[in-house]
Amino acid sequence: MTLATLSEVLQPALKGGYAVPGLVCLGWEDMRAFAMAAQAERAPVILQAGPSCREHTPLPILGAMFRHLAAQVDVPVVAHLDHGYTMDECEAALEAGFTSLMFDGSRKPLDENIRQTRAVADLAHGAGISAEGEIGFVGYSGGEDSAGTDPEEAALFARETQVDALAISVGNVHLQQDHEGGLNEARIRAIEAATDVPLVIHGGSGVPHAQRLALAHGSSICKFNIGTELRMAFGAALRAAVNADAERFDRVQILKDTHDPVMEAARAAIRSTGASGKV
C-alpha cells in the first residue's frame, strides 16, 4: 500500500523543487490510467474526486477505488477530496478512507472561510491526514470571474487555518481548454513571501506547460490541479473508439480503448510538473 497524505507528498516537493499533479478523476477508467501513468513516471500522484465525480459515484466507492489503486502501485498515491463545500462532505470523505480534504470556502467572507477551513483542518489533522484550503476565488472559463488572492489575507488565512496546502487565485481559471493564459508571477512571489505553506494552482490545464514547469522548479507552487486537458484526451479517445466500429456495443471493450491515450496524456501532465523520477 502506497497511500499517502497530501503533506507527505507536498513537503518533499517544496524542498525538492517540483510540483505534484492533482489529477481530476471522473471514473474508473481515468483514475486507473492516472495511477499507471504515475507508476510509469516514478512520480507521486494525487487522485482527486471533485463535485461532478462525487455526484456520479458515492464517496465510499471512490475511497475504495483510490485505495485499491494505491495498493497496485509502489509510488505515493493521495486520495483527495477536491472542492468539499460542507463539513458533512469532509466527514464523509474521511470515513470513506480519503487521506486529504480540500475545503473550498473561497466564496465566503474571509472570517467565515477561515473559521470553516480551520474546522476541517482540525478534523483532518485529528485523523492523521491533510487539509487544503482556498483563499481567493478561482473562476471558470466562460463563466464566473476570479477574485485574486490578496497576499496579506493569504498569510492570515494560512496562519489561522493551519492548512497543509493553500490554493490561490493568480490568473488561473477552471475549465480552460487551451494553454494561452498564464499566471501572475508577481502576485505569486508576493504570496510566497508572506507564507511558507505549499501553494496550489486550480485550473492548471490553462497554464502553459513551460510556465507550469518553471514555477514547479522555482516557486512555492507544489501542486497543479489538472483536469480539462485529461478529460479532453479521454473524450477524444472514447469518440474514436465508438466511431471505429459501428457494430461494437460492449462498453467494456470500448472503454478499454481509452486507456493508452489517457495514460499518455497523464504522463505528459506529470512531466510538466517536474514530478517524474522523484520516487
Domain-located, residue 49: yes
Could you tell me if residue 106 is inside a domain? yes
174: pLDDT strictly greater than 60: no
**Which pLDDT does position 180 carry in this prediction?**
59
Return the residue matching grid coordinates 507550469: 212
Find the domain containing 73 and state its range.
3-135+146-271
**Cβ-proximal residues to 220 (8 Å cutoff; 6+ apart), any chain:** 14, 188, 191, 192, 196, 197, 198, 199
The answer as to whether 276 is a domain residue is no
Q: 156 near 197, Cβ under 8 Å?
A: no
Average pLDDT, the chain: 92
Contacts of 143 (CB under 8 A, 6+ apart): 175
Taken as a whole, the chain contains a residue count of: 279
User: What is the per-residue pLDDT for 78?
Assistant: 98
For 28-32, 63-67, 168-172, 268-272, which range has the lowest pLDDT when averaged over its residues?
168-172
Least confident of 7-16, 177-186, 239-248: 177-186
Residue 40 resides in a domain: yes
**What is d(CA 7, CA 14) in angstroms, rounded to the nearest whole number?**
10
Q: What is the pLDDT of residues 119-129, one digit of tens each?
A: 999 999 999 99
Say whether 82 is catalytic.
Answer: yes
pLDDT confidence of residue 142: 55
For residue 178, is it within any domain? yes
Assess if residue 140 is contained within a domain: no
Distance of alpha carbon 175 from the chain centroid: 13
Contacts of 100 (CB under 8 A, 6+ apart): 5, 6, 46, 78, 79, 80, 81, 124, 129, 130, 131, 132, 164
Question: Mean pLDDT across the stretch 56-60?
Answer: 96
| pLDDT given at position 138 | 73
Q: Which of 30, 74, 82, 164 is catalytic?
A: 82
Give how many domains the chain has, as a whole number: 1
Q: Which pLDDT value is given to residue 169?
A: 87
- Mean pLDDT (whole number) for 252-267: 96
Is 248 within a domain?
A: yes
Whole-number Å distance between alpha carbons of 84 and 53: 12
Give the residue among 56, 130, 52 at the shortest CA–CA distance from 90.
Answer: 130
- The C-alpha cell 487522485 sits at 47
What CATH code is carried by the domain that includes residue 242?
3.20.20.70
Calpha distance 174→91 (Å, rounded): 25
Q: Is the pLDDT at 54 greater than 80, yes or no?
A: yes
Three-class SS string for 231-265?
HHHHHHHHHHHHHHCCCCCCHHHHHHCCHHHHHHH
Distances, alpha carbon 111 to alpha carbons 58, 105, 107, 179, 275, in Å: 31, 10, 11, 34, 35
Which range (63-77, 99-113, 119-133, 170-184) has the least confidence? 170-184
Residue 205 has pLDDT above 90, yes or no: no
pLDDT of residue 36: 98
Q: What is the mean pLDDT of the segment spanning 245-272? A: 94
CA 221 to chain centre: 12
Q: Say whether pTM exceeds 0.85.
A: yes
Q: Does 112 map to a domain?
A: yes
Q: Is 112 exposed, middle or buried (0-12, 13-18, 19+ CB in 10 A)?
A: exposed
145-163: average pLDDT: 88
- pLDDT one-digit tens code per residue, 213-248: 999 999 999 999 999 899 999 999 999 999 998 889
At 203 the pLDDT is: 80
Q: What pLDDT does residue 4 have?
A: 98
Say how far apart CA 231 and CA 267 lie, in whole Å: 14
